[in-house]
Structure formats: C-alpha cells, structure tokens
C-alpha cells in the first residue's frame, strides 16, 4: 500500500464530507421552511442550471465509464467508440423532451418522485407499486455493482485490501446521502463531476507522457491491427467483430432509452426555473459527449502503448488500473484514481436517495403511513431507510452473489423498459392507460430477461431492442382495447383539447 | 430582478406568463422539436459513417468516418442544442396550476 497514492484520495473524501456537511446545514434550514420530504428527496427544487447539469452527468457517468468502456475500446478499437457515440444526444434528450413537462406537472401536483407522477397520471396504485419495487430491486443491484467496481479499481491501483477499500468509500457515500439527502447528493455530484473531468485529463497524460505525439500512437495501433487475429482497431465495427445491429442497438440502450432512467428523470423535477433547464441542456451535452467519448478514446489510444498489455484471459477491466499504476507516479496515480471513485460515488448516492424515496414516498406515504403517526417520524424513517438500503448494497458487495450480478447486468435495460414507455405515454399520449402501461412492463421485462438468461441471438441486436418493440406493441394494443383515462388528474398532463372526452 | 412566486422556486422578471394549458402546449412542442433534433443527429451520424466507412482517407492518422460521424456528430449536437435553446425554447414560469383547480386543492405534502 502506498500512502503517497492514498493522500489525494483522502483529501477528496474530506472535500466530499465538507460539501455534504455544508449541504446538510442548508437542508435543515430549507426543511424548516418548505417541508422535510420535498427537501430530503428533491432539494426543495433549488438546483441552478449548472448544478443540474453536473448532477445529471455525474449520476449517468459511473465506474463503467472509467473502467469497462475504455477496456473494451482497448480490445475492439474505434468500434467501441461507435458504441459509445449515442451519448452525444444523451445530454440534451431527457431535459429537452421531459425536463420542463416534469417541472411543470410536479410543481402543480406536489409530486416529488417519478413514481408519484406515474401513479397520479394513470390513477393506479398497482402500477405505482410495480414501478417502485422494480426501482428498488434494480437500484440495489446497480449500487452493489458500483461498489464492487469502485472497490476493485481502488484496491488494485492503490495496493489496498479490497475489503478496506470498499468499506472506506462506500461508508462515506452512504453516510453523506443518509444525513444530507438530495441536496448533499447534488452538491457532491457537482464536485465529483469536476473530478471526473480532471480524471480524463490525467488518464490522457498517462498515455501521452511517454510518446512523442498522437500520430505515433495511431501508427502503433495501425501496425497492431494488421497482425493476425486482431480486430481492425481503426474500423467502425472492429472488422466485423462488433455486429452493426449491436452498434445500432446502442442508440436505444445509451441513447433514446435513457429518457426512461428514473434516477436521471427525477432531476428534471428539482431545478428552479426554465432557464436552468436551458443552461443544463447545453452544459450536459458538452460535458457528457466530451467526457464519455473521451474516456472511450483513452482506452483506444492505450492500445498504442507497447508496454501496456494484459495477461491472456485477463479481463479488460484491469486495463485502466494497470495504466494508472504503471504509467504514473504514486501521487499522480492517487489523483487520477479520484476520477473513477468520484464516478462511482456520485452514481451510488443518486441511486440511493431515489431508492429511499421509493420506500418512503411511493410505498409508505402513498398509503398514508405517516399521517397517523408523529410528524417527525418521517425524518427518522427516511434517514433509516437510506442507511439500511446503503448497508444492504454494501453487504451484497462484500458477499457477491450470482443473482445480484445478473440483476445488475439486466438493470440498465430493465429500468428503461419499466419507465420509458409509461413516462412517454403519461406525458404525450392521452390514450395511454394503466392497463397498457402494465402490459408494456410485463411484456418488455419477459422478453428482455428471457433473451438475457438464455443468451438468445437475435441477429446481434441488444436484448433491449426486441423487448422495447414488444413492450410498445403491448402498450398500444392494450391501451386502445381498454377504456381511456378520464380522471381529474388528466388536467395536469394534457391541455383541455387533448384529454379524452 | 428575481421575483419569488412560490416558496420553493424563483422566476425571473423576463419570463413570459402563460396559462397552465398554454404551458403544456409549449412543453409538448419543445419536446417534439428535441426529439426530431435527436433523430436528425442520429441520421447524420449513421449517414456519414456509412458513406465513408470504406474510405481510406485519414487526417493525422484518424480515419475519415471517425472524424465525420463521431467528432462531427458531437460538434453538430452541441450546435443543435445551442440553437434549440436560444431560438426554440421559451422561458416561462413553471409555477402554474390548471385553471379549474380549486383554491383549496391540496397539492403539496405538508410534513415537517
């Protein structure tokens, strides 16, 4: 273990702690004025545009952005950059399509969660419960995956025991989320976003410091591409190794489908005014595209370093830790490690506070659980639920199970299949109803999980594509075959001429 | 100058004022335009990639298809969102209620 690697990370942890304590202080004042639930789960809708952009980006970018993505780009070349490219639209798509609608409707209805809005729009407790439970299951698995990935890179690059590496950063993020709530999450996300960007530059430095220029790297990569049994590193589909259908699927999975990610969508309810959305659209587009594609390019360019190799059969997830530990001095290695750690912690904190809101707001408060109890109960139970959920994910990370790993793999697409169509239907299709939404969820999940479990080849398409097609068909057919929604809450979602008569 | 119109949010004095239904119509239009912009960028990306993937032209070692589709696509998306925001999106207060909402309708959770 090198203390020279650890000290920058300890300074980072200290910075997060200070930011969260500051946020907690502010949160206490706001909670007194505007109510605990709105403050703890939505920061009293106080986010300015730049912070909104940073928290969206930090929530979306995760440990896989720093580890798996670059590793696969090292393996497949620019073809994996093609896979990552849909993220040039991710930045503005959610905010432009749903940002102001969510802001408008959530203010008028007092909703503080995405499930609140879905339950209200479709007038269905069952649909709300299904969405809340699915969110809880998938988010717990995703947090577990983030903890495992973050601990691995921390332990490998810093020479730490994985147990202590995990305990160190996981306990910090669980604690500041528990006691600081949404405001602490977004403030620490902003700090993490800057450090993620810095991490990209340090990784690039690790590559370029020992080469004369960029052209020499590309020449080295080109020469490797001509070797037998190597993919075409400079081609758009790795010489056929990456099916075009998979690359097209990425525009659903990490492109248009990201509209349906609830951990991102909830941020569209937490800003101050319309200008904040506009600012965030521009900033997020620039930052998301630059960083997420930039990181993949780092992995591609690392192929040009002759000394950077992996043992036969070794996972490409080891590439970035190896790059950090072999190419940088201990202090710079420690500073560079902050990037992926920041990505992990920012994603976990967002998932954790949203998962806690699913329990408190979506499952308990929607049933009037706190109305007959002392009001201060909601403070205690909210914090307790956040803490317990965080500890459960930490527990799974310390004792990984195959089931949790499998759910994590399915989580990203699974969440999109649960929330994308109900959200789009809720806000854009007056004829959409609860039965249609439920049918889309059941059909979508069934197709998706079947394909993933049996590893069915569907012409190279990612499982989310046929699942989404099936879910869409189910949504339309069942909605049209059953009665439209005509309840009073429709006035919040559609102007008078669009509501079913 | 900032005017506070609700305890939890702030609006600026140069925001237009609309009814709730008008605001819904505007957000619907903005959403459609955003969707179309995303589709156009997607088509540009795949069109430029497909048309140039077989080309052996490079610039400083970078293949032409990469420069056009990935780099060009990124630049196009940044330009598109700036134009979208500056020319198409409207600034208006989001603290609105539907016109037939009774004054007594309880919309907010009042928990400590």
Each residue's pLDDT tens digit, B13-62: 567 789 999 999 999 999 999 999 999 999 999 999 999 999 999 999 99
Is the reported ipTM for this assembly greater than 0.95? Answer: no
Q: How much is the pLDDT for B78?
A: 97
Q: Residue length, chain A?
A: 501
Residues of B within 8 A of A248 (CB-CB) are 46
**CB contact burial A91-119 (16+ within 10 A = b; e otherwise):** bbbbbbbbbbbbbbbbbbbbbbbbbbbbb
In this complex, which of B92, B96, B112 lies closest to A36 when CB atoms are compared? B112
Q: Would you say residue B110 has pLDDT above 90?
A: no
Taking a C-beta distance cutoff of 8 angstroms, is the pair A227, A65 a contact? no
Verify whether the Cβ–Cβ distance A109 to B107 is below 8 Å. yes
How far are the Cα atoms of A231, A237, A248 from residue A243, in angstroms, in the given order? 13, 7, 9
If you measure CA to CA, which chain A residue comes closest to B21? A495
Residue ranges of B 36-65 with Cβ closer than 8 A to chain A: 37-38, 41-42, 45-46, 49, 53, 60-63, 65
The string of pLDDT tens digits covering residues B67-98 is 999 999 999 999 999 999 999 999 999 999 99
A249 vs B contacts (CB less than 8 Å): none
Distances (CA, A) of B37 to A65, A377, B83: 25, 47, 10
Rama region for A312: left / alpha / beta (φ>0; ψ in -120 to 50; rest):
beta
Given a cut of 90, whether residue B63 has pLDDT beyond it is yes
Give me the pLDDT at residue A1, please.
Answer: 55
pLDDT of residue B100: 65
Per DSSP, the residues of A178-207 read HHHHHHHHHHHHHHHHHHHHHHHHHHHHHH
* β-strand partners of B62: B59
Measured between alpha carbons, how far is residue A442 from residues A56, A137, A475, B19 in Å?
Answer: 28, 16, 10, 38
With both helix axes pointing from N to C terminus, report the angle between A162-208 and A319-327 in degrees, rounded to the nearest 10.
70
C-alpha to C-alpha distance for B22 and B38, rounded to whole angstroms: 24
List CB contacts (< 8 A) between A428 and chain B: 28, 31
| pLDDT at position B102 | 56
Measure the CA–CA gap between B9 and A499, rounded to whole angstroms.
28
**Calpha distance B68→B77 (Å, rounded):** 13
**64-83 of B, contacting A, C-beta below 8 A:** 65-66, 69-70, 73-74, 77-78, 81-82
Residue-by-residue DSSP string for A86-145: THHHHHHHHIIIIIHHHHHHHHHHT--SHHHHHHHHHT-HHHHHHHHHHHHHHHHHHHHH
pTM comes to 0.92
Closest Cβ–Cβ partner in B20, B85, B94 for A103: B94
pLDDT of residue A448: 96
Contact A235 B53 (CB under 8 A): yes
CA distance A150 to chain B (A): 29
- A211's tokens: 């080469």
Contact B66 A236 (CB under 8 A): yes
User: Would you list the DSSP string of B8-75?
Assistant: S--EETT-B---HHHHHHHHHHHHHHHHHHHHHHHHHHHHHHHHHTT---EETTEEHHHIIIIIHHHH
Closest CA to A338 of A25, A6, A102: A6
Q: Is A491's CB within 8 Å of B98's CB?
A: yes
Predicted local distance difference test score (pLDDT) of residue B4:
32
Which residue among A104, A491, A496 places its CB closest to the CB of B94? A104
Burial class (CB in 10 A: 0-12, 13-18, 19+), B21: middle
Q: Which residue, among B25, B38, B68, B72, would best test binding to A if mutated, counting the most A CBs under 10 Å from its CB?
A: B38
Cα angle vertex A150, ends A148, A153, to 5°? 105
Q: pLDDT below 50 — which residues of chain A?
A: none
């Amino acid at each position: 273990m090198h203390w020279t690697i650890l000290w920058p990370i300890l300074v980072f942890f200290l910075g997060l702690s200070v930011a969260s304590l500051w946020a907690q202080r502010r949160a206490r004042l706001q909670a007194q004025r505007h109510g605990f639930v709105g403050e703890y789960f939505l920061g009293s809708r106080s986010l300015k545009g730049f912070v909104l952009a940073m928290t969206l980006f930090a929530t979306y970018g995760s440990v896989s952005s720093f580890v798996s993505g670059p590793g696969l780009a090292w393996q497949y070349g620019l073809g994996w950059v093609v896979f990552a490219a849909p993220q040039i639209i991710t930045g503005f798509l959610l905010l432009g399509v749903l940002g102001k609608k969510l802001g408008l409707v959530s203010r008028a209805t007092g909703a503080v969660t995405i499930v609140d809005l879905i339950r209200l729009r479709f007038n269905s407790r069952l649909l709300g419960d299904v969405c809340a439970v699915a969110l809880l299951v998938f988010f717990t698995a995703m947090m577990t995956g983030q903890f495992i990935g973050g601990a691995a890179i921390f332990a490998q690059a810093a020479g730490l025991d994985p147990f202590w590496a995990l305990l160190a950063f996981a306990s910090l993020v669980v604690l500041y989320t528990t006691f600081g709530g949404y405001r602490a999450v977004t403030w620490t996300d902003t700090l993490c976003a800057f450090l993620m960007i810095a991490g990209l530059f340090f990784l690039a430095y690790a590559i370029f410091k020992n080469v004369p220029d960029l052209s020499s790297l590309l020449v080295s990569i080109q020469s490797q591409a001509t070797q037998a049994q190597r993919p075409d590193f400079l081609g758009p589909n790795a010489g056929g190794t990456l099916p075009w259908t998979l690359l097209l699927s990425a525009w659903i999975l990490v492109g248009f489908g990201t509209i349906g990610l609830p951990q991102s969508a909830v941020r569209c309810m937490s800003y101050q005014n319309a200008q904040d959305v506009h600012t965030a659209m521009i900033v997020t587009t620039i930052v998301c595209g630059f960083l997420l594609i930039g990181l993949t390019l780092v992995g591609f360019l690392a192929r040009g370093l002759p000394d950077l190799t992996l043992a036969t059969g070794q996972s490409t997830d080891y590439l970035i830790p190896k790059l950090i530990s072999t190419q940088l001095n201990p202090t710079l290695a420690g500073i560079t490690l902050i990037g992926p750690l920041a990505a992990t912690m920012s994603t976990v904190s967002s998932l954790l506070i949203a998962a806690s809101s699913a329990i408190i707001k979506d499952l308990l408060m929607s049933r009037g659980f706190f109305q007959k109890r002392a009001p201060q109960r909601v403070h205690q139970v909210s914090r307790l639920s956040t803490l317990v959920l965080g500890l459960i994910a930490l527990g799974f990370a310390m004792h990984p199970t195959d089931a949790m790993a499998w759910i994590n793999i399915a989580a990203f697409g699974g969440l999109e299949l649960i929330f994308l169509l109900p959200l789009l239907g809720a806000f854009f299709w007056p004829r959409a109803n609860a039965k249609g939404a439920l049918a889309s969820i059941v059909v979508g999940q069934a197709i998706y999980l079947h394909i993933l479990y049996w590893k069915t080849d569907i012409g190279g398409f990612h499982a989310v594509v046929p699942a989404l097609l099936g879910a869409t068909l189910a949504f339309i057919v069942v909605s049209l075959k059953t009665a439209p929604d005509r309840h009073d809450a429709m006035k919040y979602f559609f102007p008078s001429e669009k509501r079913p008569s | 100058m900032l005017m506070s119109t609700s305890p939890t949010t702030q609006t600026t004095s140069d925001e237009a004022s609309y009814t709730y239904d008008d605001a819904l119509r505007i957000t619907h239009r903005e959403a459609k335009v955003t969707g179309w912009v995303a589709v156009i960028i997607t088509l540009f990306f795949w069109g430029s990639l497909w048309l140039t993937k077989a080309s052996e032209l490079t610039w400083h070692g970078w293949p032409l298809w990469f420069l056009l589709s990935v780099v060009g696509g990124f630049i196009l998306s940044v330009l598109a969102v700036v134009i979208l925001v500056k020319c198409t999106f409207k600034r208006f207060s989001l603290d609105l209620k539907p016109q037939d909402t009774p004054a007594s309708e309880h919309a907010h959770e009042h928990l400590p």
